[in-house]
Chains A and B, each alone.
Chain A
Amino acid sequence: MSEVTPDLVRHLASLARILVTEEEVQKLTGELSVIVDSVASVNKAVSGDVLPTSHPIPMSNVFREDVVLPSLTQAEALSAAPDSAEGRFKVPAILDEE
Chain B
Amino acid sequence: MPMVKISTLFYRVDGFGELDASSTNPEILDLAFCDQYLDQLLTHCCFDPGDKLVQTILEKI
- Asked whether A and B interact, the reply is no
